[in-house]
A = this chain, B = another copy of it.
Amino acid sequence: MDPHLLRTFVAVSRLGSFSAAARELGYTQSAVSQHIAALEADLRTGLLTRRPVGPTPAGVRLLEHAGPLLLRLDAARADVARLAAAPPDTLVLAASPLAVGPRLLEVLPAAGVTLRVLPRAEVPAAVATGGCDLGLVDGPAAPSDPLRLPDVAPLGVAGVAEEELAVLLPAGHPFARRASVRLEDLADARWIDAPDAGMPLSGVGGALRSAGPRPSLRYEGTDVRALCALAAAGHGLVLLPRRVAEAAGAGVAVPLAAPRLVHRTELLFPGGLTGAAAALAAVLRDPPGA
């Protein structure tokens, strides 16, 4: 189970072709074939069907492990490298779309900062593997509870802000004139699932008895404005931080009364924080909003 073999395996699985994987990895076709053969011999199981090329059940199972594994491996390498490396001169800050809030915009105007907006799930990985120096992630959580983040690496975590949640309804919606709504009252409604840009519905469901709101439309992308437009146009409901929902321009924002959830933003930072990164982190982290 050499990491190289694993890397080849995921490349072949993703591309559906030995030769394409070989091109991508800078090997010959032959080497790729040998890698897969070695893996299959090691695990004593077929991992790929040939012609067409695709993972077998065992291969699917292995793929589920391979991703996190290779990620952690990169994270480990990046982490020790950071210890020796000089503090970066230009900071790269990774943030999920809704983590870009007023607090960040206030602090940002520092020289040499790059803001990189990523899908929520990729932010921890980006920080862990050294692609970014700091990360800001957001998500739903019980008040003053930490977010449930995938632990790709031992990262430092600090709460940055917590904000009320609201549902963005189209103007004519029966609940649009209410002062607040309960999620269970909207359980049968159509929701837009936007795990990258909006709040992940699956996380919200964990707090409810049921499996959470059922999505009707899925939006992949990181543009919050487009998401708001969809919701205002009546394609489905969206859960957003209250200020964002109210600033949407169209649609009606109704605060969420139950379950007791907040929109929480957290700062992620790698172990050995030095220089400008440490300074920015200190400014961001100190007052965790009530």
Instruction: Give the interface of A toward B (CB within 8 A).
Output: 1-3, 43-45, 57-58, 61-62, 64-66, 68-69, 72-73, 75-77, 79-81, 83-84, 142, 144-146, 148, 150-151, 153-154, 206-209, 271-272
Contact in complex: A1, B1 (CB < 8 Å): no
A76 touches B69 (CB 8 A): yes
Q: List 14 A-B contacts (CB under 8 A).
A: A1-B77, A45-B83, A58-B84, A61-B79, A61-B80, A61-B272, A62-B76, A65-B154, A66-B76, A69-B69, A69-B72, A72-B72, A142-B207, A148-B148
CB <8 Å contact, A154 and B64: yes
Complex Cα distance, B61 from A153, in Å, reads 11
Known contacts: A61-B272, A69-B72, A206-B145. The answer to whether A45 contacts B1 by CB under 8 A is: no
Q: In the complex, which residues of chain B have a beta carbon less than 8 angstroms from the beta carbon of A146?
A: 206
Q: Output the least CB separation between A37 and chain B (Å).
A: 16
A238 to B83 CA separation, bound complex (whole angstroms):
40
A75 contact set on B, CB distance < 8 A: 65
A83→B66 contact, CB < 8 A:
no
Q: Which residues of the partner chain B approach A145 to less than 8 Å between Cβ atoms?
A: 142, 206-207
Q: How far is the CB of A200 from chain B (nearest CB, A)?
A: 14
> What's the nearest-Cβ distance from chain B to residue A64, in Å?
5
